[in-house]
Structure 1
Amino acid sequence: MIEKSKPAAELSTASSEWLVTDQRGAFAMGTPQGFRTRKYHSFYSGVAGRSELNFLTDIELHWGEQALWPHIYSGNGTGGAAPVPIIHPAVSADFMQQPHPTWTWRLPEGILTLRVQARSPGGIALVFEFEMKPGGKPKPKSKVKAKSRSKAKVSSASALRAQLPLLRLRPFFALRDLHATGGQLWTLHRTSAGSAGGVVKITAGSGNEVHLGMKGPWHWQEEPLWYRNFFYPEESLRGYQDREDLHSAGEFKLDFNASRSSELTELGFLVSEDPADVTHYISSPEPEGKSPPSFAAQDFILTRPAGIVAGYPWFGEWGRDTFVSLPGLVAAWLGAGGSETEVWDWAHEVLGRWGEWIQKVGMLPNLIEKEGSHQWESSDATLWWCHSLAALWQLTLADREKARSRTSSRKITPGLDPSLEFQKRYVSLLNLAIDSIQAGRHPFLKLNADALLEVTEAHTTWMDARFEGAPVTPRTGVLPEINALWFQARCLQALWADEKSPYDSTENWQELERLGRAVLNSTHEEERPNRIFLHSIPLAPSLALQDEESLLRDFTQIYETLWTPVGLRTLEPKDSRYRPECCGSQEERDMAYHQGPAWGWLGGHFEMARSRLGKRGELQGRKTLARKMFDDKALERMPIRGHIAELFDAEAPFKPRGAPAQAWSLACLEEAKARKKFGLVNKLTALLAQRWLGRRERKSIRGASASSPEAGSSEPGKFKKKMKKKTLKISGAVGL
């Protein structure tokens, strides 16, 4: 049972939440207890696509006169005392999160269940099932199977049915902005109806609307009411408006006594912005067949249009987040058994959809706005798009090995080589992105005399927090992650160039070597974690230059000052600006956001850098690097099962903060797992050795041929042996 009142601070959602998404931008989210603690909690909201609204915010549920679904109200203070939040009604239900959030009430007449699940082609359904139990309370069960039905035999079915109360559901459609509070007046318009259900349209005075498909003999009774003072303790803790009034135009009733059978039928509602979704739901006699592979990362995947939601519940489509996350989401989807064709088609759609901006304006937006006016304040989104090319091309190298294993000759034709096809698809766009930066068309980047990139605006990197317009973590000049990504893009351009291209010339490879040295030597910022990118990305400077000492030095320094079990701190503790907790008011959180708290996505890059230390890293690990990020104990503390939060307190117990489900936090960890599983570091190292050293040694041979006859025909095999030895040395130095 839940107590009738608790202090608001004790009702924080940090312990547990559930999440359901439909891969088209709609989601449902709440707590296992049922009551809402955030303004974002609902049974249907849209965070991407056509809208960003909270639609079906809540329900009131009764079995006869017994209330089943709890809410938190602000309460009334007496004698000048502050109001005490009240939970009403004080009831509880058994909750099971997987495979769908499901509540089970054990009633005297039987077992009632409610589950929330996404349905195909779109929308989110609330599905009720009732299992009849004659003669008193049913025996306890740990789980109710959706397809299991009790075929009770009773002497009088009509007498049994007469004992069943009405199931009553009162919906609260807020139809408001996702980030605001304040429900609107709304009305219900029936568009189609029948004995088995119907379709209705919910319309607010503002013009916002949503469609509701009903399955089962529900009866609508109009009874407009306002419910006052819903209380959201999590919003109170975050310094936002924490109270809301919600309107309900009436309630749905279901009379089991009127049913022809004492066994239950599936009864449900499906909410969607698209009327075609609800029509499909009503006409489908059974749920869709075998479900596709289920994995947590799928919650961030958008299929119409193809994209990535940066995080739930308040993030939309961000350029930087999309391409930090894309490689890991592809790896997770493939690892869960997804169709290779479906997964790669989706990845190509994401790359192509955003790549159109490179063709039009030479850069990517920072954020796609729903109204069509996008935000452009990002110095690195285009570079992260190039990063996705490198990381996904890395995955195609593993696919090439699979294709080779299917043939007896161990050779594959160019048309069936996935890595070559990937390269051909994107080489022109990659060159255009690089050319746009070199030509000075990017408003926040400029090349300096050393060919390094300088950031010109202080709030345009991933550490972009601002308060009242002023950057909290101003970063300009030559920055580690910006130039690591720039070096990677230039290397990928050279690797993809044909032998006649100037990008594959000896001079260009020599320029890249100078650039790589400059990146490693000129980008400092030791008090922050951003040097990890010099070693973690696929074509990292330390990998290309065989600089294992730089890798070990930075890795050890980061481990000793910034490591936590849930990510890397954003500032070392001895710094006077250090703030370990990101909590409190908007100002307090903005001032702390990148000034100490640990970020999960950095943990994934830490693990990717660790994998490059090979045996030497394992030896070092026996002394100082034994623990790894996100062990089972850390994952068990996440707010949403299977997901990783946006950031964490920098000190124990490392409490989750920010968005409870963040795409790049999970995706970077999945990318690290994939690199280790497929040995991707070795594959890229071999390619670099073949191209880079080949060009370097080719020039030395030409020079020796002109000045020394001994370097010519007298020892024709000497260089081949030497280059082979160097190639093997590179492959082994930083391999897994």
Structure 2
Amino acid sequence: MPPGSVMTFGPHVCGSASGFEHEWLVTDGTGGYATGTVAGLRTRRYHGLLVTPDRHLALAALDPVVTLPGGATVRLAVHEWASGAIEPAGHHHLEHFELADGVPRWRWRIGEVVIEREVAMTHGRNSVAVVHRLVDAPAGVTVELALTALCTWRDADGERDRTTEPPAVELAGGGGFTVDGAYRVDGPDFRPVGEWYLDAYAREEAARGLNPVEDLWAAGTFQATLALDETLSVSAWSGDLDAVPPAAATVVADTRRRARKLLRTAATAGARDAVDKALVLAADQCIVTKPDGTPDVVAGYPWFGSYLRDTMTAYEGLFLATGRFDEGARLLRAHADLPERMRASRLGDCDGPLWFVHAAERHVARTGDDALAAELLPVLEGVIAAYTKGTRDGVRADTSDGLLAVEADESGLTWMNARLPRGPVTPRDGKPVELNALWANALGAVGALRERCGRDASVVHSRREAVKAQVVKRFRAPDGWLFDLVDARPAAYPKGGGSIHDDAVLRPNQLLAFSLPYAPAADEPRLRTQVLQAIGATLVTPLGLRSLAPAEYGYHGTHRGGVVARDTAYHQGTAWLWLLGPYVEARIAAGLPVDTVLTAVEAHLGECGLGSVSEIAEGDAPHRATGAPFSARSVAAVLHARAAIRANRKLQTASSGKTEKLKLARDAAPRKRRNALR
């Protein structure tokens, strides 16, 4: 199945267990969402038709039952139970699934009768529309369609069962009902039921070592008699329960129009082919608007929130590669208080502010927005000053060499931040290589912006040159690559040790020293080549770069099991897709081929989170994708890397054309001289 703005599956996938592995997602632009599987089975505790921005699961499912003219009933839903039974098995009637312009569509066939479902959300409001239509039937035939609303009201990370009070269902004026006063479900001819569906089973939660069983409350049914092309629509929403959203069919049409507008905007920024289109819509899922009107980024669905590091790491891909410049500028302005926050409180993040500096400089470089440069320059200088004096997280520029040091990585301050009760899985006390690559890059970025604003940048440039020299000097390891840490504390060593070390463990973090715009090791081509050879031979997988080389102590090639097992493997061998961005940029800088680096990832768009990119994959073959199936950093990295590859290809074409013209000119010169002699 080729990825693109339209993705389809036929009965072989829809009607089998394969359909349980492909997930769809629609979002509302505020942080709320609806998600599930192609075949309709709820395999995660997070699957449902309405999840609120504060991550509460509301409407879990609408189970369709069709009554044919002869009186036979056919159940089109599919559920798995703690007993192991899959009943009903309505996916056996599912002949087609399509994801087009961000709207998922299912078609069930019962002989000559075909029922269609579409799901969309109102952008800017936590509201979902579910439209059912009779799209094919013999002439004059009508069918009865009933939808059983399975409800709950719980934290999306937990469960609710019959040991609690049933959800409080109250009839709503004008039709439908409310649940626990928190959300409303509306549709035609509602008939209350009021009973528990016991022991619903979520197989993905079992695989993650979590409780996979919950009970769902059947609140009642919506019903209608459908002739050809007639619909039965249900809407559900939270917030102002009296404010009825637009008609469901209108919501679907508006969603499609909005998706096409996003694609037109992105096309002006260079995103034009089918893969780009899918990624542009995936990026849109991650961009949300907060209640105060400022943009933000959801790090991943279905369980992540918003974090500074993820937001700014993803900034180039999400906002610049898609042409969303105005939103991006508003997001950057919203972080103007970052220096004060760094001084006043713990961010739990040692490099997010440096990614913010990178994002701001890249935005100005891409858009030429000098007004924004002048506005943000004091903020960026404040970030530099905060690191110089020392942040509340214990990150400070060492006065002896100018490098940034993490005094005590007790809570996981770098992006390798997995924690167990005993502390970080990968403690990185000392001077991490990627932190100092970002530090040198931030100094270069501030210097460039000072020059752009007509201000003297000599002091900043001088400081960057000193840091750059120290990075090359201090981090060059005897093995032919860069140390992952210098001045590492003993706690960073799983085998112990009583003195400060330089840690030569082979990880991908060093890529930032070669890939960033003001990379500190950019002028070391031989070192860069050695590093890329080592990384290419040991860390590169089809779906990202391993976080640790397989030959290193503590390598975990699988990411499975309970919380402890998965968190232990998270940065100890698991492959991260977002690292493909720095890898592509480093290869381009080295003049190495990049055209095939993203081939597997582009195919992956149709494998797990449809149209999107997974957070991580297992380090061992076959590199099964895992983690969040819809990841902002991964989507952004692929968008940005594809843009970089296109720009590099264009540059090479222009260069080869110029070379060819020079060659033709040289060949023509002797002929001109001979003609002149005649």
Q: What TM-score, normalized by structure 2, do the two folds share?
A: 0.79
Tell me if structure 1 keeps the 8 A contact 2:20–2:39: no
Q: Which amino acid aligns with 1:540?
A: A
1:322 corresponds to which residue? Answer: 311
Residue aligned with 1:590, SS? helix
Q: 1:444: how far off?
A: 2.5
Pick closer, same or farther for the CA change 1:14–1:594 going to 2, 3 Å. farther
2:183 corresponds to which residue? Answer: 210
Q: 1:426: how far off?
A: 1.1
Q: Distance in 2 between matches of 1:327 and 1:511?
A: 26
Tell me if structure 1 keeps the 8 A contact 2:374–2:453: no
Q: Distance in 2 between matches of 1:381 and 1:503?
A: 27
Q: Distance in 2 between matches of 1:363 and 1:344?
A: 30
Q: Which amino acid aligns with 1:352?
A: R
2:33 to 27, 34, 45: 27
1:331 is aligned to 2:320: yes
Pick closer, same or farther for the CA change 1:283–1:14 going to 2, 3 Å. closer
1:225 corresponds to which residue? Answer: 195
1:246 is aligned to 2:216: yes
Q: Distance in 2 between matches of 1:23 and 1:170?
A: 27
1:290 corresponds to which residue? Answer: 257
1:87 is aligned to 2:87: yes
Q: 1:11: how far off?
A: 5.9
2:462 corresponds to which residue? Answer: 510
1:235 to 187, 197, 205: 205
Q: Distance in 2 between matches of 1:171 and 1:590?
A: 36
Tell me if structure 2 keeps the 8 A contact 1:454–1:479: yes
2:76 corresponds to which residue? Answer: 68
1:564 is aligned to 2:541: yes
Pick closer, same or farther for the CA change 1:602–1:242 going to 2, 3 Å. same
Q: Which amino acid aligns with 1:384?
A: W
Residue aligned with 1:281, SS? coil
Q: Distance in 2 between matches of 1:565 and 1:254?
A: 49
1:181 to 137, 151, 159: 159
Tell me if structure 2 keeps the 8 A contact 1:452–1:478: yes
Pick closer, same or farther for the CA change 1:363–1:488 going to 2, 3 Å. farther
2:57 to 45, 54, 57: 54
Pick closer, same or farther for the CA change 1:447–1:650 going to 2, 3 Å. same
Deviations 1:395-448 (A, max 9, x none): 22xxxxxxxxxxxxxxxxxxxxx3423311311110111111212234230111
Q: Which amino acid aligns with 2:328?
A: A
Q: 1:566: how far off?
A: 1.2
Q: Which amino acid aligns with 2:299?
A: A
Q: 1:535: how far off?
A: 1.1
1:42 is aligned to 2:19: no
1:486 to 439, 444, 447: 439
Q: Distance in 1 between matches of 2:453 and 2:380?
A: 18
Q: Distance in 2 between matches of 1:31 and 1:457?
A: 43
1:302 to 264, 288, 291: 288
Q: 1:550: how far off?
A: 2.6
Pick closer, same or farther for the CA change 1:384–1:62 going to 2, 3 Å. same
1:553 to 530, 551, 564: 530
2:236 corresponds to which residue? Answer: 271
Q: Distance in 2 between matches of 1:382 and 1:514?
A: 21
Q: Distance in 1 between matches of 2:42 and 2:249?
A: 31
CA RMSD of aligned residues (A): 3.0
Tell me if structure 2 keeps the 8 A contact 1:502–1:508: no
Residue aligned with 1:124, SS? strand
Q: Which amino acid aligns with 1:70?
A: V
Residue aligned with 1:101, SS? strand
Q: Distance in 1 between matches of 2:466 and 2:401?
A: 9
Q: 1:638: how far off?
A: 3.4
Pick closer, same or farther for the CA change 1:532–1:211 going to 2, 3 Å. same
Q: Which amino acid aligns with 1:662?
A: S
Q: 1:559: how far off?
A: 1.2
Q: Distance in 1 between matches of 2:527 and 2:650?
A: 17
1:164 corresponds to which residue? Answer: 142
Tell me if structure 2 keeps the 8 A contact 1:18–1:97: no
2:404 corresponds to which residue? Answer: 453
2:613 to 620, 644, 651: 644
Task: Give the paired residue count.
Answer: 574
1:539 corresponds to which residue? Answer: 518
Q: 1:657: how far off?
A: 1.1
Residue aligned with 1:631, SS? helix
1:708 corresponds to which residue? Answer: none
2:391 to 429, 441, 448: 441
1:348 to 325, 329, 341: 329
Tell me if structure 1 keeps the 8 A contact 2:202–2:212: yes
Q: Which amino acid aligns with 2:58?
A: F
Q: 1:635: how far off?
A: 2.3
1:586 corresponds to which residue? Answer: 563
Pick closer, same or farther for the CA change 1:610–1:307 going to 2, 3 Å. same
Identical counterparts, % of pairs: 26
Deviations 1:590-625 (A, max 9, x none): 1111111110001121011111112xx24xxxxxx8
Q: Distance in 2 between matches of 1:315 and 1:14?
A: 22
Q: Which amino acid aligns with 2:137?
A: K
Residue aligned with 2:190, SS? strand
Tell me if structure 1 keeps the 8 A contact 2:205–2:212: yes
2:339 corresponds to which residue? Answer: 358
Tell me if structure 2 keeps the 8 A contact 1:95–1:101: no
2:492 corresponds to which residue? Answer: none
2:360 to 389, 393, 397: 389
Tell me if structure 1 keeps the 8 A contact 2:338–2:353: no
1:464 is aligned to 2:417: yes
1:530 corresponds to which residue? Answer: 509
Q: Which amino acid aligns with 1:549?
A: R
Q: Which amino acid aligns with 2:88?
A: H
Q: Distance in 2 between matches of 1:312 and 1:457?
A: 31
Tell me if structure 2 keeps the 8 A contact 1:187–1:203: yes
Pick closer, same or farther for the CA change 1:280–1:242 going to 2, 3 Å. closer
Q: 1:285: how far off?
A: 6.0
Q: Distance in 2 between matches of 1:266 and 1:419?
A: 49
Q: Which amino acid aligns with 1:575?
A: E
Tell me if structure 2 keeps the 8 A contact 1:362–1:432: no
Pick closer, same or farther for the CA change 1:626–1:395 going to 2, 3 Å. closer
Residue aligned with 1:96, SS? strand
Q: Distance in 2 between matches of 1:500 and 1:118?
A: 43
Residue aligned with 1:516, SS? helix
Q: 1:678: how far off?
A: 4.5
Q: 1:499: how far off?
A: 9.3
Q: Distance in 1 between matches of 2:440 and 2:192?
A: 65
Tell me if structure 1 keeps the 8 A contact 2:507–2:548: yes
Q: 1:283: how far off?
A: 9.3
Pick closer, same or farther for the CA change 1:248–1:611 going to 2, 3 Å. same
Q: Distance in 1 between matches of 2:148 and 2:452?
A: 69
Q: Which amino acid aligns with 1:537?
A: L
Q: Distance in 1 between matches of 2:452 and 2:82?
A: 71
Q: 1:629: how far off?
A: 3.5
Deviations 1:558-586 (A, max 9, x none): 11221112111111111121111111111
Q: Distance in 2 between matches of 1:322 and 1:267?
A: 39
Q: Which amino acid aligns with 1:429?
A: V
Residue aligned with 2:120, SS? strand
